[in-house]
A and B are shown apart, each in its own frame.
Chain A
Amino acid sequence: MRRNLGGKLTATFLAVCMVATMLGGCSKNEKNNTVSTEKQESTENDSKTTEETTGDSTEDAWKLAKTTPDAPYPETVEYTVGATVTTSIKFPEGSNDTTTDNGYTRLYKEKINIQNTNKFEATDGEDYKQKVSMAITTGDLPDIMKVDDYATFKELVENDLIEDLTEAYNNCASDLMKEIYESNDNKALDMATVDGKLYAIPTTTISGGPELLWLRGDWMDKLGLAEPKTIDDITNILKEFVAKDPGGNGAGKTVGLAVMPSWNGNFMYSSYAGAYQVNNIFTMNGAYPKQWIKGADGSAVYGSVQPEMKQGLEVLANWYKDGLIDQQMAVRTEDDLKALIGNGQCGAFFSGWWAPYHTVASYTLNPDAEWRAYAVPTGSDGKVNAYTNNPNQNYFVVRKGFEYPELLIKGKNVSLAYNQSSEAFSDTSETVKYYCDTVTGQYGLDPLGGFDYYNAAQLAYQHITEALDGKRDEHDMSMYENSLYESCKRYKDAVDSGQEPTTDDWLNYQCRVVGSGVLNDTVMNLVDPVFFDQTDTMRMKWATLVKMEEEAIMQIVTNQKEISYFDKFVEEWKAAGGDQITKEVNEAIANK
């Protein structure tokens, strides 16, 4: 027994040691590789300096590359990035592609002669933020990286860790880039500008359009309900849905409106036009919850604590009382809501044009399920009130001291040209062909990435429907739009010939033609929030104030507290730091 154990242990240990040495060997090799590339780089740099002194032509070429939008660098410029990748990357079968050598990177290399190595990789979101924080902490920044939040961006600026890109932008930004930023009145650039200097190439937010009420059309037809316009129409439809059970779920099994609970950072009004939001119920009465907006006296006020909120709260509380809102809304997760909708137990929710991603299961399980979108409830002028979102999603920054700060802009030029214009179809080079063939299957490899027009969803709708009607060449649009067009066309062809369209095609058609159609036709009253930054007091107290807010709102909506409780909440909110923060916000705006 003992000997046996000893023998086994020894054997295991030997095996472990072997594996360890193997792995050790591997990592050493890797290290060697990086060392050799560094060497290469430095020799390149050396040779560059020697060439610079020998020939004017190379010097001119370098100068040209550094000061114009598309001139390639005379020699390959290597740069490091903090890359967002997805872990489910599928490389084209049979290729030797890697995360640093693929359709994207070769396109950049061919067009402007740059090559990335990834200083770190992580999936987008929390993981990536973690990596960025650690890189900043250790002072070991990649040449180019994405920064997700404005606070970190500002921290980098204030501590002089990133390059001023003003000159590079002025010299090298392509017309297309400028045009895209102009599509949202250059708000994106303004936010990335500190003291008159541009410190980042921001990724623009695409407007989600109006928050739409999505209703089960087949249920409406069955019950003979007309399309809704006012809040009363909606109340009536919800009532009929719940009471008459058009889906045949059995008594009491149909829930009314699906509403996002406070879950995973979401709330019933945490983002305009997000899924399961109820912003429209509040904006209808001029309340803009969770937004800093201009109040009646011109100073900035916090939307959630304005008296206008009470009317919206009254509507929701009454709906809840009458069973028109999912009675378990407080404890649902997004998956639960999706399940209700997929299962045909819920026929009403608010969402932007991409709602079909939440309804697709209902279609797969029941092909009769038909969803219709309405921009409601409208005010007396017949329009929906909405607020705009933060103009930026994130900020691409360049490490202080990086020799080629313009590389970021030139790279983005390439990305925009091949993704946001029809260039991908006119350029016939091998690299571009490979790019077109593979990148749609390769999301998550683009080391630099592009961004899109503010009204991208609307443009896509126009381009796709025009092409479907034969009024536009199918290649006179971006590659992405073209792939959507193809999908929508397949959907139409299938329907026309009496076949069942695939789920993917159904999805794209519902999103891009049905949902976006409403978006395209709707005119909104837009309110621009005036503040997206943080103040000192917010750093510590904001979490508590948010908790107070969500607790109070949820209690009122679920009838645990009267509407009048709202006034008490506002008082407490102000006393707990709300007033102080409001003061600070106004000061910050005044100082800008």
Chain B
Amino acid sequence: MHKKIKISDVVIFLVVLLLGLSCLLPLLNVLAISFSDSASATANRVKFWPVNFNLNAYKKILNDQQFWRSFVISIVRVVLGTAVNMLLTILMAYPLSKSKRDFRAQGIYMKLAIFAMLFPAGMIPLFMVVKQVHLMDTIWSLIIPTAVPIGNVILLMNFFRAVPKSLEEAAEIDGATPFKILWKIMLPMSLPCLATLALFCIVGHWNDYFTAILYINRTVNYPLQTYIRQVTASFDMSKINNIELLRQYLQVSSRNLNCAKIVVSVIPLLILYPSLQRYFVSGIVMGAVKE
């Protein structure tokens, strides 16, 4: 019996290790390229260890004012966007988690929400609306149109439903308002879920590049991912009539620089997840119930 468990432990450990490694290797490749010289990177000579180690790519990024400006814009967007997302998610999930007996309009709201999830606004009509309400060219254009992530609402709603009814009922008898119940009972009970949803929001805002192309009219106001993603392909050399365009081509097609940009833009996410993991500690929720 004792021995058997040990073998299964080893097998599980190895499987997890292998899966982990498989995810690590492409990243190591990106990292190694970012520390290599441009020619070796172009010639695909870099595998998992830098060739002709140098920091040129990172020096370029450090000196690139726009990179940092976009970095800050992205941070602001993530903070604002996640706050708005979470606020609205929480406010919507709680009433929707109620049964039709407790909240007669629940069915109608739910149907509207599902409908909105399945019929996302098309690019052109949404653009027209964003323009009409004067959000164009503001950071809010990146936040408000996607302020209600319905998938998240449904997830949180299901989490809320799993919270024991007895807790709520006790609070109601004490005369707590729904807002108070939500704040004092439901939220602390759903920390792992809230942490997860916050992570989804942060990642979504951090990664999104396309929205800014549509709604932001000044390239200096681009968030980071939009800035990083430059059109590298289909440069037609025959059309070039300016020496700087040629230099541009060399720059955007420079693999080590592109990889360095990816590395720098992934670092915040690398810090983020472990710091959220402490809300995933098993037993918090139900442990609290028991006490």
Direct contact of A and B (CB under 8 A): yes
* Beta-carbon contact of B238 and A205 below 8 Å: yes
| Closest CB pairs A-B (n = 10) | A443-B244, A342-B43, A339-B44, A208-B238, A364-B39, A354-B237, A343-B43, A361-B42, A120-B217, A361-B39
* A6 proximity list for chain B (CB < 8 A): 183
12 contacts between A and B (CB under 8 A): A5-B187, A87-B66, A88-B230, A118-B217, A120-B217, A124-B231, A138-B127, A357-B249, A360-B250, A364-B37, A365-B43, A439-B244
* B191 proximity list for chain A (CB < 8 A): 5
A266 at the interface (CB under 8 A from B): yes
* Beta-carbon contact of A271 and B230 below 8 Å: no
Between A19, A89, A134, A138, the greatest number of chain B beta carbons within 10 A of the residue's beta carbon is seen for: A134
B248 at the interface (CB under 8 A from A): yes
Chain B contact residues: helix, strand, loop or mixed: helix
Number of B residues near A (Cβ < 8 Å) is 58
* B253 proximity list for chain A (CB < 8 A): 335, 338
B28 at the interface (CB under 8 A from A): no
* Beta-carbon contact of A130 and B246 below 8 Å: no
Complex partner residue of B217 from A16, A119, A274, A364, CB under 8 angstroms: A119
Complex partner residue of B236 from A19, A207, A274, A507, CB under 8 angstroms: A274
A121 at the interface (CB under 8 A from B): yes
Instruction: Name B residues whose Cβ lies closer than 8 Å to a Cβ of A.
Output: 37-40, 42-45, 64, 66, 76, 79-80, 83, 124, 127-128, 131, 137-140, 183-184, 187-188, 191, 213-214, 217-220, 222, 227, 230-231, 233-234, 236-253, 255
A500 at the interface (CB under 8 A from B): no
A274 in contact with B43 given A123-B230, A483-B243, A484-B243 (CB within 8 Å) = no
A362 in contact with B43 given A137-B128, A275-B237, A441-B244 (CB within 8 Å) = yes
* Beta-carbon contact of A122 and B234 below 8 Å: no
* Beta-carbon contact of B79 and A19 below 8 Å: yes
* B184 proximity list for chain A (CB < 8 A): 2
Closest to A27 in B: B138
Contacts across chains A and B counted by CB atoms under 8 Å: 169
A499 at the interface (CB under 8 A from B): no
Complex partner residue of B124 from A19, A27, A137, A507, CB under 8 angstroms: A137
Between B138, B220, B241, B246, the greatest number of chain A beta carbons within 10 A of the residue's beta carbon is seen for: B241
* Beta-carbon contact of A87 and B217 below 8 Å: no
Q: Tell me the smallest distance from the CB of A324 to a CB of chain B, in Å.
A: 22
A176 at the interface (CB under 8 A from B): no
A411 at the interface (CB under 8 A from B): no
* Beta-carbon contact of B241 and A206 below 8 Å: yes
A456 at the interface (CB under 8 A from B): yes
Closest to A23 in B: B139
User: In the complex, what distance in Å separates the CA atom of A354 from the CA atom of B187?
Assistant: 62
* A493 proximity list for chain B (CB < 8 A): none
* A480 proximity list for chain B (CB < 8 A): 241-243
* A121 proximity list for chain B (CB < 8 A): 217-219
A357 in contact with B43 given A16-B83, A85-B219, A137-B124 (CB within 8 Å) = no
Closest to A89 in B: B66
User: In the complex, what distance in Å separates the CA atom of A124 from the CA atom of B218?
Assistant: 14
* A130 proximity list for chain B (CB < 8 A): 213-214
